[in-house]
Structure 1
Amino acid sequence: MRFTTQRKRFRDLSEQEIIALAISSEEDDAQIYRGYAESLRADYPASARIFDGMASEEDDHRARLIALHQQRFGSTIPLIRREHVAGYYTRRPVWLVENLGLDRIREEAEAMERDAERFYVAAAARTTDADTRRLLGDLAAAEAGHQESASDLANRHLDADTRSNEDATARRQFILTWVQPGLAGLMDGSVSTLAPIFATAFATQDTWTTFLVGVAASVGAGISMGFTEAASDDGELSGRGSPLKRGLASGIMTTVGGLGHALPYLITDFWTATILAFVIVFFELWAIAWIQNRYMETPFFRAAFQVVLGGALVLAAGILIGSG
């Protein structure tokens, strides 16, 4: 069995390879920024212009590095990339970041520049060769300059009104894609499963049977709600976002809502389990009212009254049916 890595250690790179690595890294970062710009252009044009400008900055640095390589080593640049060097900083794939929202993309861009600068500073500190140390120091200074350029671009394109409008758009999209489907699922899972779970509990007074019925009702409702949400709207015209995301939010929260008051019936004592389930139901209904107030701007007491009234009716129906 081999325990050695196939990647080359940074300290073993020649100066030519270091320049080649910097060139490929600048090229990759420019492509990442352009990918961010394209994904944001429709909804956040000002932020898209910021990433266009950052990509141009990376292009300028890449051109300077190529000119340096041609001057010192000729026009043939060795093929060496991040993944070829052990310990070199990596970049997350664009598709893992661009779906997480505007603020997450901005944070990722800042982290990209900080990681690059930190790496080059640390590498320069570990280098004894004067020319290599100077080269790594220049690259670290260039990455720090990128951060200043990003700040300048943000100040140029994102005034207070523009940032406020883009943040409002991002919040609205978050609510449409995640909060609304998740809230609908939580309400359905928390309220609709009350009747079958407590009807079974009071009819059998068997905690294990009640638990199995609760799990079946919760999982079944979650699958149903998830598929219904995903199939009801593809998001193209409504602007509600990916049907997969909405389906996952609705399905998972439906299941969670039902499991909350099913899990106490893992306790073998019937009344202990039932009292704990009542307490959990109270907190579930309170959470629903809080989410409605926090994200849907529904007055808290009105939301609480609606949720508690509906939940109480369903709970009472389940208890009455089970006791009869």
Structure 2
Amino acid sequence: MADVERYKEESRRQGEPIHTEEQRFVLQVVQPGLAGLMDGSVSTLAPIFATAFATHKPHTVFLVGLAAAVGAGISMAFSEGLSDDGTLTGRGNPIMRGAITGVMTFLGGLGHTLPFLLPSIHAALILAYVIVGIELIIIAFIRNKYFQMRFLTSFVQVVFGGALVFLAGILIGSSG
């Protein structure tokens, strides 16, 4: 704690901002939101598509996807909220970060779960594929805008990670 106070005092004496408003926004809102969106969009793919390929029952897939999104949201909220108190890192209020991360994780998982409310498994799968693609584009856009990562590089990285999880889900779901 003393080191943090010394750092802040030294920054104040030198007239340096500890964090600019934009940096604070990125650290305290964008980063936890992006982490949640990425986790929700990717981690829920395996259980959703494994269930879809194993059961061919859209309602069952919806329930599994909803459970995965809720569970992932709660888990990520606690993970982010308990990771640090924000004092040393400047990442802000841990409760706020946890809430942002949890909600975005839930929304990331919910997006490609909702199509399974449709009665046709084939229509639901097609719509879910489209929504996953949109989610991955949004993630690449956010990484490009706020973290100065080239859009194409970001998109390729996100698609690669998503494809691995998606393929795992298909392989597991098709094995039974």
On whether the aligned pair clears a TM of 0.5, the verdict is yes
Does residue 173 (structure 1) correspond to residue 24 (structure 2)? The answer is yes
For residue 164 of structure 2, the aligned residue among 299, 313, 316 is 313
How many residues align? The count is: 162
1:103-147 residue CA offsets vs partner (Å, 9 max, x unmatched): xxxxxxxxxxxxxxxxxxxxxxxxxxxxxxxxxxxxxxxxxxxxx
Distance 1:229 1:249 in 2: 9
Report the identity percentage: 60
- Aligned residue identity for 1:267: L
Does residue 207 (structure 1) correspond to residue 69 (structure 2)? The answer is no
- Aligned residue identity for 1:188: D
Give, in angstroms, the shift of residue 212 of structure 1.
Answer: 0.3
Q: Find the residue that maps to 1:305 and give its secondary structure.
A: helix
Distance 2:164 2:80 in 1: 26
- Aligned residue identity for 1:252: V
Does residue 259 (structure 1) correspond to residue 110 (structure 2)? The answer is yes
Distance 1:238 1:265 in 2: 41
Give, in angstroms, the shift of residue 299 of structure 1.
Answer: 1.1
- Aligned residue identity for 2:91: R
Does residue 268 (structure 1) correspond to residue 122 (structure 2)? The answer is no
For residue 277 of structure 1, the aligned residue among 119, 124, 128 is 128
**1:289 aligned partner:** 140
Give, in angstroms, the shift of residue 185 of structure 1.
Answer: 0.6
- Aligned residue identity for 2:123: T
Distance 2:68 2:158 in 1: 20
1:201-223 residue CA offsets vs partner (Å, 9 max, x unmatched): 11000000000000000000000
**2:85 aligned partner:** 234
Distance 2:23 2:95 in 1: 18
Q: CA RMSD in A?
A: 1.7
The structure showing larger relative contact order (alpha-carbon pairs under 8 Å, at least 6 residues apart) is: 2
**1:194 aligned partner:** 45
1:267-308 residue CA offsets vs partner (Å, 9 max, x unmatched): 011100010000000000111100000001111111011000
Q: Find the residue that maps to 1:312 and give its secondary structure.
A: helix
**2:174 aligned partner:** 323
Distance 1:270 1:242 in 2: 42
Q: Find the residue that maps to 2:66 and give its secondary structure.
A: helix
Which consecutive residues of structure 1, in runs of 5 or more, have no partner in the other structure? 1-41, 46-161
Give, in angstroms, the shift of residue 245 of structure 1.
Answer: 1.2
- Aligned residue identity for 1:273: A
Q: Find the residue that maps to 2:99 and give its secondary structure.
A: helix
Distance 1:281 1:236 in 2: 36
- Aligned residue identity for 2:112: H
TM, length-normalised to structure 2: 0.88
Give, in angstroms, the shift of residue 191 of structure 1.
Answer: 0.4
Q: Find the residue that maps to 1:298 and give its secondary structure.
A: coil
1:237-270 residue CA offsets vs partner (Å, 9 max, x unmatched): 1111110111011000000000000000000111
1:131-184 residue CA offsets vs partner (Å, 9 max, x unmatched): xxxxxxxxxxxxxxxxxxxxxxxxxxxxxxx9xx97x70000000001111111
